[in-house]
């Protein structure tokens, strides 16, 4: 009589204190051997009641809050919020202010994607070298942010009506350096990983999202485009003059973790194209429209959205003509994109679940808020 190995499901916790969960986030996984048969997302460890706190502060005082949601994309979060306030109050931004915003938003996309692809390579087992290369290039962008805003991570640079400060003389040479040095870095990173047999084995066919699954889950950003859907807010609903710039929307064809990695690499190339155009055509004039210190928008509501590095980032505001928002709500792409994690991990292995989570590129600060 041959022996039969019997197993039974058991529950393991991945996180919340685990480097591969990319923050204080927990996956309560039910496994049968190495196979994941159920997965429950547990969040809330970083909840700070940011949306409610914002309803007690003035519109300008709320800008630093947005830095601390997606702390890897503070410029983008500043921008989304300021656009919502400007829409609510009917404020026009001067052309120079818009051009500076575009440059900063695309530099932020580059910096964020450096972190995304470096950490993702770590998750697949490509330890240390890719992430250190990515950090090295990201530092060049953070240097630009520090020169311009005085901060590297939580920049607090955007303002209602434009930006906080005009560009310093050293800004353009520093950006030109990034434009020169980033393309070889992207090519090098792609050459290092895209054809590596271990990287391919860990990512191809792992965490597959069909176009139907992606749209039904309201996914956006590289998650949606990796499944072959060319949807980008910068083209679908342009803001800050994005309609003036020539760039493409990269898409994947298999909807797996490998395609999401390739889409982010190609998005970095497109960001460089946008920065080059914006810098070459940077207009003169004022960088900000002056607004009252105690801004009181007319009664009403407004929703503004941008294409953040993680997808559609939206801010919903309601005004009762007071100095503070009556209602303040954020649509965070990390939270929405994470909703598909269970469908992407069930049926795979525990090791695959780590790769899938890394391919989503979450920031827990904007999930919990």
Spell out the per-residue pLDDT of the chain, length 369, in tens.
456 667 788 898 987 887 777 878 888 989 998 899 998 888 888 888 888 999 999 999 999 999 988 889 999 999 999 999 999 999 999 999 999 999 999 999 999 999 999 999 998 988 888 999 999 999 999 999 999 999 999 999 999 999 999 999 999 999 999 999 999 999 999 999 998 999 999 999 999 999 999 999 999 999 999 999 999 999 999 999 999 999 999 999 999 999 999 999 999 999 999 999 999 999 999 999 999 888 999 999 999 999 999 999 999 999 999 999 999 999 999 999 998 989 999 988 999 999 999 999 888 888 887
Helix (H) or strand (E) holding 159: strand 158-159
Burial class of residue 34, CB neighbours in 10 A (0-12, 13-18, 19+): exposed
Per-residue CA distances from 158 to 66, 86, 93, 345 (Å) = 10, 12, 11, 38
Which single residue is written with the structure tokens 């760039």?
A: 247
Cα 357 from chain centroid (whole Å): 14
Helical H runs in 72-163?
A: 74-89, 95-124, 129-149
Determine the pLDDT at residue 27.
87
Beta carbons of 124 and 358 less than 8 angstroms apart: yes
pTM of the predicted model as reported, rounded to 2 decimal places = 0.93
Residue 301 in tokens? 């509501």
Angle at the Cα of 175 from the Cα atoms of 172 and 181, rounded to 5 degrees: 140
Packing angle between helix 171-193 and helix 257-280, nearest 10 degrees? 160
Residue 156 Ramachandran class (φ > 0 left, ψ -120 to 50 alpha, else beta):
left
Q: Which residues of 309-331 are buried (b: 16+ CB within 10 A; e: fewer)?
A: bbbbbbbbbbbeeebbbeebbbb
- Cα dihedral value 274, 277, 282, 283, nearest 10: -110
- Give the chain's domains with CATH numbers: 49-368 (1.10.645.10)
Determine the pLDDT at residue 209.
93
Tallying the residues shown for the chain, one arrives at 369
Neighbouring-strand partners of residue 307: 312
Residue-wise DSSP of 289-323: ----SS--PPSEEEEEEEEETTEEEEEEEEE-SSS
């Amino acid at each position: 009589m041959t022996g039969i190995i019997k197993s039974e499901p058991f529950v393991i916790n991945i996180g919340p204190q685990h480097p591969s969960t990319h923050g204080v986030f927990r996956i309560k996984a039910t496994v049968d051997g190495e196979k994941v048969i159920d997965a429950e997302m547990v969040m809330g460890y970083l909840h700070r009641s940011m949306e409610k706190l914002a309803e007690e502060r003035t519109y300008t005082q709320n800008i630093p809050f947005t830095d601390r949601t997606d702390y890897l994309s503070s410029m983008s979060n500043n921008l989304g919020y300021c656009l919502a306030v400007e829409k609510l109050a009917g404020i026009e931004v001067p052309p120079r202010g818009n051009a500076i915003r575009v440059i900063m938003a695309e530099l932020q996309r580059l910096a964020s994607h450096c972190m995304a692809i470096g950490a993702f390579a770590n998750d697949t087992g490509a330890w240390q070298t890719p992430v250190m290369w990515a950090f090295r290039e990201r530092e060049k962008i953070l240097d630009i942010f520090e020169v311009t805003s005085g901060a590297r991570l939580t920049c607090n640079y955007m303002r209602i009506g434009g930006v906080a400060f005009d560009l310093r003389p050293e800004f353009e040479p520093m950006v030109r350096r990034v434009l020169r040095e980033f393309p070889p870095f992207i090519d090098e990173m792609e050459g290092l990983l895209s054809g590596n047999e271990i990287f391919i084995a860990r990512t191809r066919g792992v965490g597959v999202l069909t176009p139907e699954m992606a749209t039904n889950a309201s996914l956006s950003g590289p998650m949606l485009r990796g499944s072959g859907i060319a949807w980008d807010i910068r083209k679908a609903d342009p803001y800050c003059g994005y309609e003036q710039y020539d760039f493409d929307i990269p898409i994947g064809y298999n909807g797996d973790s490998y395609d999401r990695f390739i889409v982010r690499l190609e998005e970095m190339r497109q960001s460089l194209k946008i920065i080059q155009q914006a810098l070459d055509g940077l207009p003169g004039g004022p960088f900000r429209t002056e607004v009252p210190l105690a801004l009181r928008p007319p009664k009403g509501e407004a929703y503004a959205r941008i294409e953040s590095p993680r997808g559609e980032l939206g801010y919903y505001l309601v005004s009762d003509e007071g100095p503070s928002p009556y209602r303040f709500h954020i649509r965070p792409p990390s939270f929405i994109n994470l909703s598909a994690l269970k469908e992407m991990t069930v049926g795979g292995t525990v090791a695959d679940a780590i790769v899938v989570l890394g391919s989503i590129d979450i920031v827990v600060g904007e999930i919990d808020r």
